[in-house]
Amino acid sequence: MIIQVNKNWWKDLFDETYLLTDARSVCDEELTVREVNFLEKILKLEKAWPILDLFCVHGRHALELSRR
């Protein structure tokens, strides 16, 4: 099986919609901390529990959880 990928695939993924929605949160450390605080509270997470990051985007939540 041969799969051909357009070398400019990222132009479709990181378009104007991405810039208006997701891009602003990627580098917002305060937002990440607030979101992880919420996750810890609502899920009643314990430090010894393993976490699987299924979305594999930027990993900002997984990284913050790992720091804690």
**Both structure tokens of 67:** 């720091």
Check: CB of residue 32 under 8 Å from CB of residue 60: yes
Token couple for 62:
């997984």
For residue 37 the two structure tokens come to: 């605080």
46-59: average pLDDT: 81
Average confidence score pLDDT of the chain? 86
Q: What is the pLDDT of residue 56?
A: 63
What is the C-alpha to C-alpha distance for residues 26 and 7, in angstroms, rounded to an integer? 24
Taking the domains of the chain in order of start, what are their residue ranges? 28-68
Confidence of residue 53 (pLDDT cuts 50, 70, 90): confident
12-36: per-residue pLDDT in tens? Answer: 888 888 888 877 788 889 999 999 9
SS3 of residue 46 by DSSP = coil
Report pLDDT for 15: 85
Residue 38's pLDDT is: 96
Q: For the packed helices 60-67 and 29-43, what is the interaxial angle rounded to 10 degrees?
A: 70
